[in-house]
Chains A and B, each alone.
Chain A
């Protein structure tokens, strides 16, 4: 066992002299010069958008500060949302509990002990109405981290807006609706891969027409938090994006139309320059792909992205150090030119954040936006010999991984075979071994560490949330028009066996106050359930 605050054996000195690499293995030279810049990138807002998708960067509008919140009951979530809007937050992000994500009602036996734990439980339209009570849905935008049950939750959100008198075309936000990364890394799947893709694409197709201000998918990079390197993260996520564009083209949809509605979600850790280069390179590759499939509208070629700062980069040891990491990470995102940022809380390795810790995380972004110059000029690192060269190197590294995936049949096939899951698991294992050998320094964990664990104040979750939720659900089932709900579910079952878009029958079931669990189960009867490959 290592003890004390000295450096671990094998760890580099404070100022490493030997040739370094980024975390994805890209070599970093000691000194960069003009000879390392292949070609200066074109101005911001022009193809291939290396320097950002807008000509005026954050000058017109600073990035959206969107903190993930939602826990316990719908009423508690409503209270937290109103607090965050009052504190100056500019968009809402709804966290849902695991039963809701997996299509289980709060009174399902499998849900016992998990109701309201990692997010709020939404059993029916009634819960959605409570969550957004007195919050005008034509004036806020809401991001929902929901995938397998995204069609149900989006239908509920739209219905809740209608009940406020807000027309569907006025609501704005994003549903994650990215099933591929659930199979690859996040694990919240229900149905097999093919019907999952169908449902996801049904949602996109329906939304393009009916909810023009809504992003119907956020192609997400949870592969990173499961172990992938930054280059692999971008490669896997863009490969998933390519799989979705293929499916949309197969439905005869216009790339100039759907290209404007696709959005992405990434992880940002404290490897500052590599993250900046990752985003610049990713925009280039995506723009080229969209152009290749026929998109000519620049908006349809742009990689619009949100991100989370935190995740696996945060440590349980000396948790206040995480504030430093989060600051570096948010700074990297701002230099990388993303559209929306969620800074996790420093205490997330312990529990759901407290009100104070989530406020401090929001403050990190506000300090960056208002007290530094990062939002006052576009792409402030553009032209740096190092950053431009690293962007080129990252682009090459990302493309190489994408080519491997294409050669194996594309993203859907590498997930079906389990190849991708195994790759990610291997990287996670390599990382852990690197941390334990000292080859990968993590301050406070394997280098400069102090003894003992610091006491951390933890957010108390109300113990009776589950009981309350179950009681509410029973009241709802008793009070609704049972025949209407049953009729809507029957129609959904019939249509799921055909090929029509399933959004209209799902909306109908939601309006009849059919529950999340009832709708999900009806679809499962038609689709069956997924069985993951068991190798690791």
Chain B
């Protein structure tokens, strides 16, 4: 559950990225605003970010979660490349979530690429905020690096 009552609340850091060529950033911007209003620190990469840029920004900024906005249908190849890149940078524990128009048939494939959760155009903002709070919750109590693992996925 959200940690609003914790006196020294951990402030989650989230990277919102828009990979690929598609220029529709309404969703990415709305999510970024919602997370910021929920008290998180949000970094937005802007349009047409390449996978190496996203991975490098995530590691350098020490973010807790990477959120990808993908509407173009290229989600499988994008997530695979990001997974490889994060592995290479020794950041394979960094949780990735995806939002966009993603057919349900692809959800298991994305999960196998390490994607923790897929959100659609009609996912309530509250649900996105709560999921990210849940993802980073252990950080408020434990040393960095002991984040939730895939087994804890609801």
Interface residues of A (CB under 8 A from B): 1, 98-99, 101-102, 104, 110-114, 117-118, 182, 186-188, 225-227, 312, 315-317, 349-350, 425-426, 428-429, 432-433, 436, 445, 453, 532, 534, 536
A102-B21 CB under 8 A given contacts A429-B34, A532-B47: yes
* Chain B residues near A453 (CB-CB < 8 A): 104
The 6 residue pairs across chains A and B that have the minimum distance between CB atoms: A187-B23, A98-B21, A425-B29, A429-B33, A113-B74, A536-B32
A98-B72, A114-B74, A117-B73 known; 5 other A-B pairs, CB under 8 Å?
A: A113-B78, A118-B72, A428-B26, A432-B30, A534-B46
The reply to whether B30 and A99 contact each other, CB–CB distance below 8 Å, is: no
8 Å CB contact of B47 from A113, A187, A350, A436:
A187
Give the nearest-CB partner of B75 in chain A: A113
The reply to whether B120 and A316 contact each other, CB–CB distance below 8 Å, is: yes
8 Å CB contact of A349 from B25, B33, B101:
B101
A532-B121 CB under 8 A given contacts A425-B29, A426-B33, A429-B30: no
The reply to whether B46 and A428 contact each other, CB–CB distance below 8 Å, is: no
Beta-carbon contacts under 8 Å, B7-35 to A: 20-26, 28-30, 32-34
Expressed in whole angstroms, the Cα–Cα distance for A315 and B101 within the complex equals 12
Expressed in whole angstroms, the Cα–Cα distance for A112 and B28 within the complex equals 22
A536-B23 CB under 8 A given contacts A114-B72, A349-B101, A429-B30: no
* Chain B residues near A182 (CB-CB < 8 A): 23
9 contacts between A and B (CB under 8 A): A98-B22, A99-B21, A118-B72, A182-B23, A317-B122, A428-B29, A428-B30, A432-B125, A536-B33
B124 within 8 A of A: yes
Q: Most chain-B Cβ atoms within 10 A of its Cβ — which of A187, A225, A312, A349?
A: A187
Beta-carbon contacts under 8 Å, B24-62 to A: 24-26, 28-30, 32-34, 42, 44-48
Q: How far is the CB of B54 from chain A (nearest CB, A)?
A: 14
**Chain A contact residues, majority secondary structure:** loop
Expressed in whole angstroms, the Cα–Cα distance for A68 and B18 within the complex equals 25
The reply to whether A536 and B44 contact each other, CB–CB distance below 8 Å, is: yes
Q: How far is the CB of B34 from chain A (nearest CB, A)?
A: 7
Q: Most chain-A Cβ atoms within 10 A of its Cβ — which of B25, B72, B73?
A: B25
B146 within 8 A of A: no
Expressed in whole angstroms, the Cα–Cα distance for A111 and B122 within the complex equals 29
B77 within 8 A of A: yes
Expressed in whole angstroms, the Cα–Cα distance for A433 and B34 within the complex equals 9
Beta-carbon contacts under 8 Å, B111-139 to A: 120-122, 124-126
Q: How far is the CB of B47 from chain A (nearest CB, A)?
A: 5
Expressed in whole angstroms, the Cα–Cα distance for A349 and B25 within the complex equals 16
Expressed in whole angstroms, the Cα–Cα distance for A150 and B78 within the complex equals 28
Expressed in whole angstroms, the Cα–Cα distance for A118 and B74 within the complex equals 11
The reply to whether A433 and B122 contact each other, CB–CB distance below 8 Å, is: no
8 Å CB contact of A113 from B34, B77, B124:
B77
Q: Most chain-B Cβ atoms within 10 A of its Cβ — which of A1, A188, A227?
A: A188
Q: How far is the CB of A130 from chain B (nearest CB, A)?
A: 23
A425-B30 CB under 8 A given contacts A114-B21, A186-B24, A187-B47: yes
The reply to whether B122 and A445 contact each other, CB–CB distance below 8 Å, is: yes
Give the nearest-CB partner of A114 in chain B: B21
Expressed in whole angstroms, the Cα–Cα distance for A111 and B12 within the complex equals 34
* Chain A residues near B28 (CB-CB < 8 A): 536
Q: How far is the CB of B72 from chain A (nearest CB, A)?
A: 6
Q: How far is the CB of B140 from chain A (nearest CB, A)?
A: 26
* Chain B residues near A349 (CB-CB < 8 A): 101, 121
